[in-house]
Every structure is written in structure tokens, then in C-alpha cells.
Amino acid sequence: MPTSPEAAAVARSLAEISTSLQRWSVSLGHSLAAHRGTLNAAAIERAVKPTVAEVLKADDSVVSGGGFIAAPGLLNSDRYYMAWWQGTGVDRVDPIANLSDAARGRYLTADWYVTPISTGHMAITGPYVDLLCTDEFSITYTAAVDTYRPDGPAGVVGFDVTVAALEHRILTSLKTVSPGAALVNSEDRAIVTSSPLVAPGEFIRDSAQRWDVGHGLSIVA
């Protein structure tokens, strides 16, 4: 954890997002497990949408979209099922429907899906340009939903967070760490930076100081 008070302030802001997602993954797991053999798409939407709507409509939310992605076989009638909404209007989107038939299974090998499913740990993916939803630089938080099925998790829940919204939340604290400080992912790609010379997605190779802020993210300066 960060030893710098300023870096700790950034870590607390980020922890609000990850803690919210992880708590939801547990509660949704209980809700889906209660359906046992009667689980269908309508039941999933009734379980998922209220939480997503609450998060999206919150005045201080940095979440731009969220929902649930089913594991293959959870719904026999729909192998690639996703219940996802975005924006304060809570608009239903289906990114998987925007993919070709040949590409729909690619999410099964994507880090945002594989990491939480295989490890049980929350994953943060990005920054990347979210071409299927917001068309903005974003990061995505995902966590496995465990219903104690013999064949593994029921799927993953996720929150999309735009870099612009995250910058609005943490930039002031980041500047107090250092005029050139940056929040980076595990590959040292910049997510939010207080330097005008570094853009989201750029690699930051040289840094004298580093503070771990959790889930593979760090502050470097």
C-alpha cells in the first residue's frame, strides 16, 4: 500500500470502485444461485439492472457502463449472453451483438474475462478506446460471479470507467504527489497523468518513485 499520504488518497478513490464491484459480484452470485434450475435471461436482467442503474445514476459516479457477461453454458439457449447498460439514461447495449459470429467467442480469451474467471481475483483492463460502447478511453473492472456451480463461475460482472471521469476524480490528488505523476497499469501504460507531455495509453519507462495502489495499478513519478 502507498506510504505517501497523497498517493493513499488516490488509492482510496480507486478502492471505492473496486470494493463496490466486488461486493456486487458476491450479492449477484447469491441472487443467481437462488434460481437454481430456473435461471433465464429475464431473471438475470431483473437481478442485474437495478444495481447498474443505481451506480450509473449516482451523482458522483465515475462508472459509464456496467453489467454481467454469462459464462458459456449458463443459459443453454444463448451461449454469448450479456446484460449491459450505459449512461445516466441506463441504455441497454449488447457489445457482443456488434461482433461477427466468428468473433463472438473472442471474449473468452480476453484478459478482462479470463483473469477473474481463472484466478478469482478482480481484473482491471485498459486503458483502451471502447469502440463497442462509449468510443472513449476507458478502463474496465471485472470480477467473477460465483454461484458454486460444478463447472465454475456463472460469469463476470464489470464496470466501465472513462479516463476522463477518472481524471476528474483523482487529478488533484495526483498533482499533489508530483507535478509529473501518473496512474499506470501493470504494463506501465499511463491511465491518468498530471503531465501534459504524456497521453493515456503511453508507456512510462523511467520513474524514480512508485506507489502500489492495488489491483495492478501504481502511481509513478
**Per-residue cell: 125:** 483492463
32-83: per-residue pLDDT in tens? Answer: 999 877 788 899 999 999 999 999 999 999 999 999 999 988 887 656 788 9
Average confidence score pLDDT of the chain: 90
Q: How confident is the model at residue 157 (pLDDT cuts 50, 70, 90)?
A: very high
Proportion of the chain above pLDDT 70, given as a percent: 92
- Gyration radius of the chain over CA positions: 18
Q: For residue 28, which of 55, 61, 52 has the smallest C-alpha distance?
A: 52
Prediction pTM value: 0.92
Q: Which domains does the chain have, with CATH numbers?
A: 5-165 (3.30.450.20), 171-220 (no CATH)
**Contact by Cβ (8 Å): 181, 191:** no
